[in-house]
Each structure stands twice: as C-alpha cells, then as structure tokens.
Structure 1
Amino acid sequence: MLKLTTAVFTAVIALAVNAPANAQTALKWGHAYETSEPFHTEALWASEEIEKRTQGRYKITVFPASQLGKENDLNQGLTLGAVDIITSGSSFAARSYPPMGVTYYPYIFRSPDHLIAYTKSDIFKELAAGYEKASGHHITAVTYYGTRHTTSNKPIKTCEDLRGVKMRVPDVPAYLAMPKACGANTAPIAFAEVYLALQNGTVDAQENPLTTIEAKKFFEVQKNIVLTGHITDHVNTTIAGRRWAKLSDEDKKIFTEVTQEAATRGTKIVQEREAALVQTFKDKGLNVQEVDKAEFEKVVLAKVPLSDFGYKQEDYDRIRAVK
C-alpha cells in the first residue's frame, strides 16, 4: 500500500510540474470584415500557424464580421479585456494617439508599395511606439486594405466636378479632406446603409476601395467609378498590452513573424484583386474614369492643409521621403 501511495503521489507531482508547460492559453482575435475577405482568411491562417509554432501553447479563435463588436468596440475591448488581438484601421489607433492619423491624409502614399516600405521605416516605428505608449497596445503588422476611389451618379474628371455633390464619407477627419477640398457636401452615413442611400438618392457618391465597391455591390447603383486613389488604406494587427506583456521573448517573436507573414499574404491578395477589378468593371459596362491625381493633391494641400488636423509636417515629410 505504501509503495502504491508513493507511486500515486509521484505521478501527481509530475503532472503538476508538467502542467504549466502543457497548458494552452485561449485568445480571441476580433475584426469587422467578412469571412470571404483576406483580413479574415489570413487571420485564420495566422491563428493556426501560431498554435503550430508554439507547440499548442496558444489557441486563437478568430471572430469575424463584428461578432465581438464594431471597430470602436474592438479597440476598446483591447483595454477592457474583451479581446486579445484585433485587425483595425489606423484611424481608430489615432483616437489614442492622433499622430497615427497622418497616414490617412490624401495622397501621402504614392502606392501600396510605398505604404509597405513605410511599415519598415523608422518613422513607422516611432509612430507605433507613440501609439503603444499612449494606449498600452502593440502593433505587430500592417496589411494593405486597398486604395480608396470614388463612385458617383455623374462622370467626375476633375476635383471641381465634385463641387456640390452629396457624398457619403466615413466620419473620420482625414477621410473628409479630399471631398471637403473639392467642395463636396459630405454625409457620414452608416456603412451598412450606403447601398440604400445611393439607390434612393440620399447621396450621389461615395468612396471605398475597388474590392469593397465589388463586395458591397455599389456598382449596381453607381455607374461611374472614378480612380481618385486619394487614400492608400491599411489595417493594423494589434495585440492587447496586457497580453503582449505576458508573452515570452520567444513567443513575441513568433507572434510578430506570423502576423507579418499573414499581412504579406493578405496584401498580395488585395493587390491582385484590385488589378483585376478595373477590367471587370469595364466589362460590366461601367464608366471607369482615370483622373489627374496630381491636380487633386494640389487642391487638397492648398485648401485642407495638415495643420487643420493637427498633424506634424515633419511626420508627413518623412513618410513622403520613404523609398
């Protein structure tokens, strides 16, 4: 009996010693995008890859389509403990650290490649560090979301053609810059209501990436697609500060590497889809209009300067200088 008791005791002690090493931590990853979009499919890939590379120490469940709340809720959830990882735009990060919003100023990025180069630059590291200090949360990766263009009821060839046009724009200061500079009358209609607003004439125009114009079928109610290319949009993969602090250096490296790989994969998918959509829309009989972006940029700089938003000229200049 004594031998049996000793053996049982030894086994219990062994289990107790080994339990922490084998324990699995469950994490929640939330975002607002649909399951068909790369921001979801690549988050799924990343969650599986992190579980694999950490030998099962982390089990990440991805919640798409605002299941854990809208973007504002998700950003608050990082602090409240409702979510561990989110995919969300810099416009929301800018609510904690306003200088992050400079990346939404029209035409600051020349192209998606310029955006990606920026994410590897010193100025990005400084802005991300400022955000982390202000919010407590850590950005590990940036994914290209798409270049924002305009759809309208009438052909638009110049900035002046937007004067007086009723245009739906997200209620984010920098998003308003181009329409405001061109004289459009902006309306912050909820995203879910945009299709109906375009259909019934509540607004005459809206702006979004080509992938969104396709996914939300705005092309059904707007026959003019104007390639204004005014904002090179992007989303961040952000980990809650309380969670980041608990990761070992090894796991921080794994989370960073995997989310950056997922961002690269997602960026590639978006770029390929955008390239194909121009011809797709033409094939549907839509009027796809090229414009002089330099002319739009000149008007924006003159009529809605950086100072209107409290952005730093130095940050703008450094981002523009990134090669």
Structure 2
Amino acid sequence: MTFRWKMLLGAAAVTLASSLTAHAETVLKWAHVYETSEPFHTESLWAAQEIAKRTNGRYKIDVYPASQLGKEADINQGLKLGTVDIIISGSSFAARDYKPIGVTYFPYIFRNPEHLIAYTKSDVFKRLAKGYEDKTGNIITAVSYYGTRQTTSNKPITKCSDMAGLKMRVPDVPAYLAMPRACGANTTPIAFAEVYLALQNGTVDAQENPLTTIEAKKFFEVQKNIVLTGHIVDHLNTIVSKSRWASLSEEDRQIFREVMQEAGARTTKIIEEREKALVEDFKKRGINVVDVDKADFEKTVLEKVAFEDFGYVKSDWEAIRAIK
C-alpha cells in the first residue's frame, strides 16, 4: 500500500470516528420510587422514548422504578453525587435544600388539582423553583399531580375535633403532621410498607394518602371509613441534575423540558380520572365515604400551626392562595 493510500485511509478513519463520536448515544439514569403500574413510571418510559426520538437517538434513558436506585432521600442525594441524572420526587424533599418551596404542603393551600396546576404556571412557582435551583443547581423541568391526600379510619370523621386522640400514621415529613396534630390526633411515623399490617392489627386507627394509593395498597380492606379531608393536594417534580443539565445544549434542554412537561400533563390527567372513578368504586364496595367540613379543618390548622415552624413564608402562602 502506498504512502498516499495510507494517508487517505487514515483520514477517512478519523472522519468516521469523529462522526460516530458526534452521534454517540449518551446513556442517562432516571429514578423514582413508584411501582411499574403507576403513571409516574409509564409516562417516564414514554418520555424516555420520546426524548430518544426527538434527539435522533443521541440519548438513551434507562428508567429505574420502585426504589431500585434507592429511597427518595437516596435518589435526591444521587443528583448531587452524579449517580443519577433525572428523578421524580416531591417538593418535601426539595424543601430539605430550600425550605420555602415546601409551602405547597401547608394544609388546604390548594383548593383542587386545577389550582395546583395553575400554581405551576405562575410567577410564584417560577420564583420558588429558582430558589431551589440556585441552591442546588438542579433544574425542575416539570410538575405532575400526585393526588389529593385523604384519610382512612376505623371511625367516622366529619369535623376536625373528631380526630382528637386518634392514633394516626402520617409520613415523617413535618408539613404532613400539621393537620392531624392541629386536630388532636396522635401521629405515628410507621414505614409505608408496614402501614397495612399496622391498620389491621390496631397499632394505628387511621392513615392518610391519595385515593389511588388507598386503592393500590388495599387499605380499604382494613378500614371502614374513607374520609375526604382533602388536606393536601400533592404533586411531584421531575428534576434534572446540575451536572447533566450543564452538559446539554440549549436545543436539547428545550427538548427535555418540553417532553417532561408533556409527560407530567399525561400523568396528571390519568391521576385525576382515576380519583374521580374511585369515589364511586369505594361506595360500591360498601365503604363509608365521608365528606367533611373542610372549612372547620382549615380554620383549626391556621389557628394552631405557624408557617415559621416549617421555614415557610406567609406571603408565599398568600400569593398561592390568590392564584385563580
């Protein structure tokens, strides 16, 4: 082979290698703690496929459900360590880094899911999200509705004072404790996986979760009453790590954000439809579904719980409440 041909072949190899590198597939990890049957997972899979499609296969996103990469605290830490690129997580965990963003967990701040979604499009949300992003470098790209938290109990409850002395399992998150404690319940932080057994054997008399969770975990089998306290209209954030976001071009950032927001909207629609159907489903199963005087619950919480106890700012609460 002549020197000239060797040079030509070498140049062609360099060009081919450069081309392959430019279009190399980047593999990302997307983690969450939800089951594979839940929309938080199915719509994450859709988003992963859609991002691959819109970026011409430059990104391959592997989705890890059901705490495969750790519990919620672990995957939040993973954003900082660079061991995970994308997570779905509640603002209660974001509030560990930037407390004001957790104000959305203050009981009765949202009137309904529509109010929550309006908040996610507001200047208030943009400001709070920026506060979190400035503190951590991580980027909140989308928000989805998680569900409205309701109460199940062994006895009927129609007003706040009916909860006095009730042994109630509540997640060990400060804002989740606000309503039960204001109403006089004795709260117990039992691990989520042990709640069914705790209700069954009487370790606790009540618990609180969205209807979709009450149905999925079959809490209705061991509780006679579903009490529509509607105390927290809950949501989840889709978050991209600081290091991963920094590596994306502006064009790819736009694609990631658009797809993740579409996935969040799809998830929200599924959850809303499921919740509406479940009220009637539970009634058909003979469960006592109880409406409550929410104004009584809200009044008691505002009288007994201080925003400052959680690091929240009252003006943020007022601004969110004013969103139409």
CA shift at 1:150, angstroms? 0.1
Gaps of 5+ in 1: none
Looking at structure 2, the residues matched to 205 and 156 of structure 1 have their Cα atoms a distance apart, in angstroms, of 11
Looking at structure 1, the residues matched to 305 and 315 of structure 2 have their Cα atoms a distance apart, in angstroms, of 17
CA shift at 1:135, angstroms? 1.3
CA shift at 1:221, angstroms? 0.3
Looking at structure 2, the residues matched to 78 and 90 of structure 1 have their Cα atoms a distance apart, in angstroms, of 15
Looking at structure 2, the residues matched to 155 and 58 of structure 1 have their Cα atoms a distance apart, in angstroms, of 52
Q: Is the 8 A contact 1:28 1:83 kept in 2?
A: yes
Looking at structure 1, the residues matched to 220 and 253 of structure 2 have their Cα atoms a distance apart, in angstroms, of 43
CA shift at 1:19, angstroms? 2.4
Amino acid at match of 1:156: I
Report the number of matched residues: 323
CA shift at 1:134, angstroms? 1.0
Of stretches 41-50 and 130-139 in structure 1, the one that deviates more from structure 2 is 130-139
- CA offsets per residue over residues 56-99 of structure 1, 9 Å max, x none? 11100000000000000000000011100000000000000000
Looking at structure 1, the residues matched to 226 and 319 of structure 2 have their Cα atoms a distance apart, in angstroms, of 32
The answer to whether structure 1 residue 59 and structure 2 residue 60 are counterparts is yes
The DSSP-based 3-state class of the residue aligned with 1:155 is coil
2:235 is aligned to 234
2:211 is aligned to 210
Normalized against structure 2, the TM-score is what? 0.98
The DSSP-based 3-state class of the residue aligned with 1:99 is helix
Looking at structure 2, the residues matched to 37 and 22 of structure 1 have their Cα atoms a distance apart, in angstroms, of 33
Gaps of 5+ in 2: none
Looking at structure 1, the residues matched to 99 and 296 of structure 2 have their Cα atoms a distance apart, in angstroms, of 27
The answer to whether structure 1 residue 267 and structure 2 residue 268 are counterparts is yes
- CA offsets per residue over residues 192-235 of structure 1, 9 Å max, x none? 00000000000000000000000000000001000000000000
1:70 is aligned to 71
Looking at structure 1, the residues matched to 30 and 80 of structure 2 have their Cα atoms a distance apart, in angstroms, of 14
CA shift at 1:4, angstroms? 3.5
1:91 is aligned to 92
| Matching of residues 1-323 of structure 1 within 5 Å | 1-2=1-2, 3-323=4-324
Runs in 1 of length 4+ with deviation above 2 angstroms? none
**CA RMSD in angstroms, aligned pairs only:** 0.8
Q: Is the 8 A contact 1:104 1:174 kept in 2?
A: yes
The DSSP-based 3-state class of the residue aligned with 2:286 is coil
Amino acid at match of 2:196: Y
Amino acid at match of 1:152: S
What's the % identity of the aligned pairs? 70
Amino acid at match of 1:37: E
Looking at structure 1, the residues matched to 58 and 252 of structure 2 have their Cα atoms a distance apart, in angstroms, of 10
The DSSP-based 3-state class of the residue aligned with 1:234 is strand
Looking at structure 1, the residues matched to 98 and 19 of structure 2 have their Cα atoms a distance apart, in angstroms, of 42
The DSSP-based 3-state class of the residue aligned with 1:170 is coil
The DSSP-based 3-state class of the residue aligned with 1:279 is helix
Amino acid at match of 2:8: A
Looking at structure 1, the residues matched to 276 and 84 of structure 2 have their Cα atoms a distance apart, in angstroms, of 34
Amino acid at match of 1:60: I
Q: Is the 8 A contact 1:147 1:208 kept in 2?
A: yes
The DSSP-based 3-state class of the residue aligned with 2:208 is strand
Q: Is the 8 A contact 1:91 1:172 kept in 2?
A: yes
Looking at structure 2, the residues matched to 28 and 309 of structure 1 have their Cα atoms a distance apart, in angstroms, of 32
Q: Is the 8 A contact 1:180 1:304 kept in 2?
A: no
Normalized against structure 1, the TM-score is what? 0.99
The DSSP-based 3-state class of the residue aligned with 2:280 is helix
